[in-house]
Amino acid sequence: MPGEVRQVALLLLPQDEQAVVEAIIERYPAVKFLESRPWEAESVPPIVGSINSSGSSLAIWNSKIHPTLPVDIRPNGNIMGPQIGPVVQWLRSREIPSGSLNAGRWAATVGNGQSPEMSDFIKGIWDVLMKLTRNELERLKKGSYNEDSVVSESRFRIGPMALERAMCGELKLVSGGMILRPRP
């Protein structure tokens, strides 16, 4: 039986992401970040040198736990690595030119079939994320356009730079059609 998917929604600016990456690498030196694109060869994952030069979708890979990753060779010849399972999926937040930050997320498989080492790694990087972010946001109630009609929203983690810019009114926080803001 496959495990469950654990996920967390993220509102991170590039500086926030870089702080998370540095803290993860400090704790887990074997970690690599893979861009979600076709691989050059089965043994050549697309490792990124810097998260800020990568695309919008990554995988967090602990090469100490999984020295090699399974691949899928598509009918068109593209070699694709895993998006979840032996890696943690990272869909990056995107700042839209209009001054909005669209939420990203982390997703990981936990539970049945997961090795104890991978379970510990997932818990460890979640701990890093929790220490470097906050979840003190609120959102407009569904169907309401009244700015005073808000509810607490704790499913999102926000980085300090994103929080600072949102508190100054320089950045609008969004997830799909949901509008979020820091709690006063």
pLDDT in tens, the chain (184 residues): 467 899 999 999 999 999 999 999 999 999 999 999 999 999 999 999 888 888 899 999 999 999 999 999 999 999 999 999 999 999 999 998 779 999 999 999 988 778 999 999 999 999 999 999 999 899 877 655 556 678 888 899 999 999 999 999 999 999 988 889 998 8
The token pair that represents 95 in the structure block? 């700042």
Would you list the domain boundaries of the chain? Answer: 4-133
Site of tokens 């890979």: 61
Distances (CA, A) of 182 to 49, 109, 125, 160, 179: 32, 30, 24, 11, 11
Q: What is the pTM of this model?
A: 0.91
Phi, psi angle pair for 89, to nearest 5°:
-80, 135
